[in-house]
Amino acid sequence: MNAVTTPTTVAVIGAGAMGAGIAQVAAQAGHGVLLYDTRSGAAEQAIGNIDKQLAKRVAAGKLAPEQHAACIARLQPCDSLEGLADCGLIIEAIVENLAVKRELFAALEALCRPDCILASNTSSLSITTLAAELQRPERMAGLHFFNPAPVMALVEVVSGLATAASVAASLYATAKAWGKKPVHTRSTPGFIVNRVARPFYAESLRLLQEGAADCASLDALMRDAGGFRMGAFELTDLIGHDVNYAVTCSVFDAYYHDMRFQPSLLQKELVDAGRLGRKSGQGFYDYREGAVKAAPARLTSSSPVEPVVAEGVGALLKPLLQRFEARGITVIQRPGSGLLRIGDATLALSDGRLAAQHSRDEGLDNLLLLDLALDYASATRVGLSWAADCSQSAIDQVVAVLTQTGLHVTPLSDTPALLVLRTVAMLANEAADAVLQGVASAADIDLAMCAGVNYPKGPLAWADALGLSTVVHTLHNLQAAYGEERYRPSLLLRRRLAEGRTLHE
């Protein structure tokens, strides 16, 4: 079905930050837009704020003055629901309250023309439930923008049980015409992003609770090794712990307390204390005036740099070997099982086992484990752990070689799969389950996570690049270490591995 054409008037109900942002997007795309809010003067104020924001873009040379004027001319406040009767698309962006939204859509259905599409910007409520009492539930769908709507590219087009395929297709085409990156998803708890992203927060929170490292160190590893824009603690401080914790609880409840989505007691404690993050001045970090910014832990070494013996190292670590050689470190390559020998130490990529377990299983002394990096050629930091019986001289020898290449080395306690590896494995696992359950396609899930939350690589594409055997093996080892169903590998991962296929095939 075609996109909603620009002669069609679009209505946005709710003049808060999200509603105003959506109204701006539609107006900039060429639609006349009616903005309605029950609060007196709210729509006019929102249009005034849009005017000021666009004026700043004009002053910065990022927007032509005539485009600014045309956009504002298309935005009109509306003082009643009845004034929206002739609109072809109505997007609701009001309070996340099921009863209030259902009452609104019932009123709209009675007012609007039969071909009007009704859409909700809800981030958490079921589209099926929202539409259940409508006479024509097939014309309703979710159109979930991300904040700030004029900036964020992703739009989740959410189909409820009754949503007509033609309506979802029209909304998809419309969002694309508006310059967005739309994805299709079924109306299941969390849709794509709020479901698949849960492990990003959960694994860092778990490692903090277990004392594996501090917030600054864990965040630095996610940024500087994993390639993410932010770590879990700075991101939840930015989102607000009241909001992030509520979403986690909502998803946890919706999935009948599946332990994969278990909320964190640490985050609950922050919410209970009113430490909601940046907006309250304190969260995991202190944002009050005069507060000292926390620094990540970093190992140093005065040991001489030893040659590196690479025994059967695979493609993932080849960039690290090239980095060694570029810094004048001798690299000797010979057959083997993927180990790096550095003086008295043995360095291996984590596979999900504890360093102590790995050392005992393989009969390796002075074993240190290296965490995953998005790209060892460009990473500026790596995570490192070791068993309790590893000698200090072996640790120093490994740290000396890694720091010689310009890498910051951040220690983690002996913990299964370290940080980046376990997070990526769990993101891929959740994404695979979403594909298995028909929530969305692999391509749409990867696009959603990159465009919606700025992941450096889609979790399914990342799993394919690592190799499904690596991901499944890591998850099995995590599950064995913790003895929890939380880390059970998705059937889709195991099936594709058995078939010799990737997740995108």
pLDDT digits (tens, 9 = 90+) for 151-179: 999 999 999 999 999 999 999 999 999 99
What gap in Å lies between CA 377 and CA 317, rounded to an integer?
9
- The per-residue b/e assignment along 23-61, b for 16 or more CB within 10 angstroms, e otherwise, is bbbbbbbebbbbbbbeeeebbbebbeebeebbeeeeeee
Which of 164, 187, 210 lies at the terminal end of a domain, its last residue?
Answer: 187
- What's the CATH code of the domain at 383? 3.30.750.190
Q: What is the radius of gyration, based on Cα positions, of the chain?
A: 26
Same domain, 180 and 326: no
Instruction: Confirm whether 280 is a catalytic residue.
Output: no
Catalytic residue among 31, 68, 92, 156: 156
Distant-in-sequence, close-in-space partners of 7: CB < 8 Å, separation ≥ 6: none
Q: Which whole number is the average pLDDT over 479-489?
A: 97
Instruction: Confirm whether 469 is a catalytic residue.
Output: no
What gap in Å lies between CA 341 and CA 309, rounded to an integer?
5
On average, the pLDDT of the chain sits at 97
| 57 residue type, one letter | R
pLDDT of residue 405: 96
Assess if residue 112 is contained within a domain.
yes
Instruction: Report the number of distinct structural domains present in the chain.
Output: 2
Distant-in-sequence, close-in-space partners of 52: CB < 8 Å, separation ≥ 6: none
Same domain, 160 and 23: yes
DSSP state of 83: G
Instruction: Confirm whether 504 is a catalytic residue.
Output: no
Assess if residue 493 is contained within a domain.
no
Q: Which whole number is the average pLDDT over 285-307?
A: 96
Assess if residue 359 is contained within a domain.
yes
* Residues above pLDDT 90, as percent of the chain: 98
Same domain, 160 and 14: yes
Copy the structure tokens of residue 214: 């501090």
Would you say residue 73 has pLDDT above 80?
Answer: yes
Assess if residue 369 is contained within a domain.
yes
Q: Specify which residues 286 forms β-bridges with.
A: 282
Catalytic residue among 120, 121, 194, 244: 194
Assess if residue 200 is contained within a domain.
no
What gap in Å lies between CA 281 and CA 201, rounded to an integer?
20
Instruction: Confirm whether 123 is a catalytic residue.
Output: yes
Of 319, 304, 313, nearest to 404 by C-alpha is 304
Q: What is the phi/psi pair of residue 77, to 5°?
A: -75, 150
Instruction: Kindly report, residue by residue over 337-379, the tens digit of the pLDDT.
Output: 999 999 999 999 999 999 999 999 999 999 999 999 999 999 9
What gap in Å lies between CA 4 and CA 2, rounded to an integer?
7
- What's the CATH code of the domain at 34? 3.40.50.720
What gap in Å lies between CA 84 and CA 97, rounded to an integer?
22
Would you say residue 1 has pLDDT above 90?
Answer: no
Would you say residue 473 has pLDDT above 90?
Answer: yes
Residue by residue, DSSP assigns 299-344 as B---SPPPPEEEES--GGGHHHHHHHHHTT--EEEE-SSSEEEETT
Residue by residue, DSSP assigns 222-288 as HHHTT--SS-HHHHHHHH-HHHHHHHHHHHHHHTTT-GGGPPPHHHHHHHHHT--BTTTTBSSSB-S
* pTM of structure: 0.95
pLDDT of residue 2: 83
Would you say residue 265 has pLDDT above 90?
Answer: yes
Copy the structure tokens of residue 425: 């494995």
Instruction: Kindly report, residue by residue over 435-465, the tens digit of the pLDDT.
Output: 999 999 999 999 999 999 999 999 999 999 9
Q: What is the phi/psi pair of residue 302, to 5°?
A: -105, 10
pLDDT of residue 124: 85
What gap in Å lies between CA 244 and CA 201, rounded to an integer?
9
Catalytic residue among 121, 123, 187, 301: 123
Assess if residue 4 is contained within a domain.
no
Copy the structure tokens of residue 140: 């309703």
Q: Which whole number is the average pLDDT over 325-333?
A: 97
pLDDT of residue 207: 98
Q: Taking a C-beta distance cutoff of 8 angstroms, is the pair 181, 154 a contact?
A: yes
Assess if residue 255 is contained within a domain.
no
Which of 134, 155, 187 lies at the terminal end of a domain, its last residue?
Answer: 187
Catalytic residue among 144, 241, 358, 408: 144
Residue 67: in which H helix or E strand, if any?
helix 65-74
Of 405, 401, 409, 422, nearest to 470 by C-alpha is 422
Instruction: Kindly report, residue by residue over 4-16, the tens digit of the pLDDT.
Output: 988 999 999 999 9
What gap in Å lies between CA 489 and CA 244, rounded to an integer?
25
Distant-in-sequence, close-in-space partners of 458: CB < 8 Å, separation ≥ 6: 431, 445, 446, 447, 449, 450
Is 355 in a helix, a strand, or coil? helix
Assess if residue 298 is contained within a domain.
no
Which of 187, 208, 236 lies at the terminal end of a domain, its last residue?
Answer: 187
Of 161, 146, 469, nearest to 338 by C-alpha is 469
Q: How far is CA 421 from CA 112, 124, 200, 459, in A?
A: 51, 28, 11, 12
Is 423 in a helix, a strand, or coil? helix
User: pLDDT confidence of 32, banded at 50, 70, 90?
Assistant: very high
DSSP state of 485: G
pLDDT of residue 177: 96
| 258 residue type, one letter | D
Residue span of the structural domain in which 326 resides: 308-411
pLDDT of residue 251: 94
Is 434 in a helix, a strand, or coil? helix
Instruction: Kindly report, residue by residue over 187-220, the tens digit of the pLDDT.
Output: 999 999 999 999 999 999 999 999 999 999 999 9
